[in-house]
Structure 1
Amino acid sequence: MPAETEQRMEAFLVAGFDCFVDLTAPGERDSYDQWVPRTSLYLRKPIPDHDVPRLPDHMAEILVEIEAALREGRQVYVHCRAGIGRTGTVVGCYLVNSGLEGDAALVELNRLWAENERSRYWEEVPETPAQKEFVRTWRQPPPPPLKAAPLLPPPVSRSSEPRLATTAQSGARERFLGSFIGLAVGDALAAATQFRKPGTFSPVGDLLGGGPFAVPRGAWTDDTAMALVLAESLHHSAGFDANDQVARYGRWQKEGYLSATGECSGITASVSRALATAKYRRQPFAGSHDPAHEDKEVLSRVVATVMYFFADGREAVRQSVEAARITNQAPLVLDCVRLFAAMLHQALAGRDKASILKPGSELLDIESLKAPVRTVLEGAYLRNAPSTSKSSGGVVELLEAALSAFDRSRDFRGGVLEVVNLGHDSDIAAAVYGQLAGAFYGVNAIPGTWRNSLMRKDLLEETAGRLLASAMVERPD
């Protein structure tokens, strides 16, 4: 079967298809995503066989992905098992989104279906009356209304059971501060090693500054600045507002807003490109879908969304992915964001290392993760000795490098220096380690000389405190 699958994939690629939307559930059919080349896009969005999506938001998510791929000039192939029921439902809803009324969309869908050879054996699509009715009544759901979140938690009655128990503990503030300060410390420590090959520099053991952006000692760069901008947007908008985030990132890019030095230091080409595209297209989710673009810096700002939406772990993971999509939408990158967000949520909740490194299905859909990311969850990095950890590879390798150091660490200092001295993308790797280890060990475990040397330390602490207050707010479903 592998040879036949490879041949079929080759035929699709020759025909020009470079985006595959798979509506089947894991295990329903043999997997083929390993045959999809890195330059193509594979998206698994399961819908139950002979059925419709359980929630309108799931169909909306599928259509957003399809429309984004089409805007990028991709040829999209949508399929289920037989190509009749689930596929017809998705295409019918796409036609509604394109401007047709429900009944007209069904007419157009079946006109197109008549050109398919399979229509000789199955005259009308979608398959079931429920699927036809779903198309007929489909309306793209509006975004959820945003509600202001008070800075202090509301009083909890005796009869209520708060979804967030851990934030009431005395260690919550230490963990939240530790995670945000840990991010900035990791970012600042890596200034002297970023983009450099191991062996070409003396091992770093303290904050030095310098590096490719010639920053002063204690200065942090884009990794921390973008997390601060995202946190401010969440607070100012009382929730997730992609347009507001793009506008604030643009202000940081032009003015150095919320930076350590008043300048925009370290912005990557991919972030610049995404912000320019968002402005031109007036579409905030402008990150590339290209699997070859493994832009790792999205992992650096996960802390802001996980903290803000902490009261609901699954929502924290989902919103972290949404925030990443503004600058990158490659499936492998987004899955790494999902996994790291779940791990960070566990750390902020005060869990032990084993629970942090292996979050469960209560936080993320493990079976839907791409295979390389599932191997991370299974502990592939445990086989890596310090000398073989990589910060120069793709997003999976960088995440493994940070997790490998965290797993072996006995304190914050030892692990972060291990990551920093890997060179290459050490700023991102150290930022990832800093968020996780800072939450696990707490702010007081970060060397005081490093904490007190950070530029704009008051801004970092104020932001972490505000996020903690937001975490104590239970949001309605």
Structure 2
Amino acid sequence: MVDRDRARVALLGLSCGDALGRPVEGWPAERIAREHGTLESFVGDGTHGKPPGTVTDDTELATILARSLLACDGFDRDDFAARLVDWYESGPFGIGGTTTEALRRIADGTPPLEAAEAARAAKSPGRKATNGSVMRCAPLAIAYADDREALERVSCESSRVTHADPRCVHGCAALNLTIAAVLEGDERPLETALAALSDDAPPELVDRLEPIPENVDPDSLVPENDAVETLRTALYHALTASDLETAVVGAVNEGGDADTIGAVAGAVAGARFGAGALPERWLTNVAGRAERRELADRLAEVEPSER
């Protein structure tokens, strides 16, 4: 059974990284430094003009996935897709283009796999591997932590609801296998995760992640909303930092897609550092913390026979 404290901090770390990065989403690092020095605490306004501690679609989609996992005793593509459509139709802010296109098609009656492929085809070649499925997939790592084969499979399936590009699909698996290895105390979790990926994982993904954490020049990090570069930046900070706060602050202050990179780094670092790692000023001010704590506790108690 997964350590409940580490599972809890993984989901809360995701939320806190999201909330810290939300007001500077899309900003270059230079602008963050100019206006905030080092951004270390929740602030209001900025991108999307929301109050301090507000979370974005990163946290909302991860929460929807967690609810679906618990309602269905495991991953159910149709239930997850239906919940995503309900969320989409509620008019959320900041929703990504690929997610929007896929969910619009699903709402119109297109099956999820076809909708995701159509959304992929609608994008220009250089913009197909966006990070909208990577940012939401961490709850799977808690529910399936003790079944790595199933974890890889459902991580890929969860991406294909909206993001069909192989870099997104296998990026979700790489992230969740890393989180699962971290939860078990593996000292080389990313190496373990990459070794467990299926043979059809794209070389572009594997080659970009393999040097982490020892052999990466921090100046080479590219904090874009690309799935591969999001993983590279977030995993670097989460696996090299001495504590969770350092990991999340470092990730967010890279700039670019700061909320998503902060969320992914927060999930990994939360699993790595566990109880007591979250700064109290974040924990008491992040939106929706009570529900995500409860969801993590319940996911950590799921037995393999129930899935």
Same fold (TM over 0.5): yes
Provide the aligned length of Structure 1 versus Structure 2. Answer: 296
Partner residue, 1:18: none
Q: Which amino acid aligns with 2:304?
A: E
Distance in 2, Cα, partners of 1:359 & 1:439: 16
- Residue of 143, 146, 153 corresponding to 1:318: 153
- Residue of 17, 38, 53 corresponding to 1:186: 17
- Residue of 260, 274, 290 corresponding to 1:458: 290
Say if 2:61 and 2:136, in contact at 8 Å, map to a contact too: yes
Distance in 2, Cα, partners of 1:250 & 1:368: 30
Partner residue, 2:239: 407
Compute the displacement of 1:223 (Å). 0.1
After superposition, the C-alpha distances for 1:311-357 in whole angstroms (9 at most, x for unaligned) are 311101210111111110001221212211210111122322x2x12
Say if 2:62 and 2:135, in contact at 8 Å, map to a contact too: yes
After superposition, the C-alpha distances for 1:399-436 in whole angstroms (9 at most, x for unaligned) are 11112212320011111111101111111111111110
Q: Which has the larger radius of gyration?
A: 1
Note if 1:235 corresponds to 2:63: no
- Residue of 99, 116, 130 corresponding to 1:287: 116
Distance in 1, Cα, partners of 2:269 & 2:218: 17
* TM-score normalised by structure 1 residue count: 0.59
Compute the displacement of 1:195 (Å). 0.6
Compute the displacement of 1:360 (Å). 5.3
- Residue of 266, 270, 275 corresponding to 2:98: 270
- Residue of 242, 264, 272 corresponding to 1:440: 272
Partner residue, 1:173: 4
Partner residue, 1:246: 81
Residue pairs, 1:343-358, within 5 angstroms: 343-352=178-187, 354=188, 356-358=189-191
Note if 1:474 corresponds to 2:304: yes
Structure 1, unaligned runs of 5 or more = 1-163, 257-263
After superposition, the C-alpha distances for 1:111-137 in whole angstroms (9 at most, x for unaligned) are xxxxxxxxxxxxxxxxxxxxxxxxxxx
Distance in 2, Cα, partners of 1:283 & 1:385: 42
Distance 1:360 1:321, change over 3 A: closer
Partner residue, 1:72: none
Q: Which amino acid aligns with 2:101?
A: R
Distance in 2, Cα, partners of 1:182 & 1:372: 28
What secondary structure sits across from 2:145 in the alignment? coil
Compute the displacement of 1:295 (Å). 1.6
Compute the displacement of 1:174 (Å). 1.1
Distance in 1, Cα, partners of 2:64 & 2:152: 19
Distance in 2, Cα, partners of 1:329 & 1:198: 30
Say if 2:57 and 2:95, in contact at 8 Å, map to a contact too: yes
Compute the displacement of 1:393 (Å). 6.3
Distance in 1, Cα, partners of 2:306 & 2:51: 44
Say if 1:348 and 1:439, in contact at 8 Å, map to a contact too: yes
Distance in 1, Cα, partners of 2:80 & 2:172: 18
Distance in 2, Cα, partners of 1:343 & 1:391: 20
Distance in 1, Cα, partners of 2:46 & 2:80: 28
Say if 1:294 and 1:333, in contact at 8 Å, map to a contact too: yes
Compute the displacement of 1:475 (Å). 2.4
Partner residue, 1:427: 259
Distance in 1, Cα, partners of 2:240 & 2:169: 26
Distance in 2, Cα, partners of 1:393 & 1:191: 13
Q: Which amino acid aligns with 1:323?
A: S
Compute the displacement of 1:382 (Å). 3.9
Distance 1:393 1:177, change over 3 A: closer
Greater mean deviation of Cα atoms: 385-394 or 234-243: 385-394
Greater mean deviation of Cα atoms: 390-399 or 198-207: 390-399
Say if 1:189 and 1:209, in contact at 8 Å, map to a contact too: no
Say if 2:85 and 2:107, in contact at 8 Å, map to a contact too: no
Say if 2:16 and 2:286, in contact at 8 Å, map to a contact too: yes
Distance 1:401 1:270, change over 3 A: same
Say if 1:194 and 1:424, in contact at 8 Å, map to a contact too: yes
Compute the displacement of 1:453 (Å). 1.0
Partner residue, 1:211: 46
Residue pairs, 1:70-85, within 5 angstroms: none
Note if 1:379 corresponds to 2:208: no
Say if 1:314 and 1:364, in contact at 8 Å, map to a contact too: no
Distance in 2, Cα, partners of 1:462 & 1:311: 20
Structure 2, unaligned runs of 5 or more = none
Greater mean deviation of Cα atoms: 372-381 or 406-415: 372-381
Partner residue, 1:154: none
Percentage of pairs with the same residue: 26
The structure that is helix-richer by fraction is 2
Distance in 2, Cα, partners of 1:364 & 1:392: 23
Note if 1:370 corresponds to 2:202: yes
Compute the displacement of 1:310 (Å). 2.4
After superposition, the C-alpha distances for 1:198-228 in whole angstroms (9 at most, x for unaligned) are 2123331111132221121111110000011
Partner residue, 1:397: 229
After superposition, the C-alpha distances for 1:365-404 in whole angstroms (9 at most, x for unaligned) are 3x43221222234215644333332112632222111122
* TM-score normalised by structure 2 residue count: 0.89
Please provide the CA RMSD for this pair.
Answer: 2.1
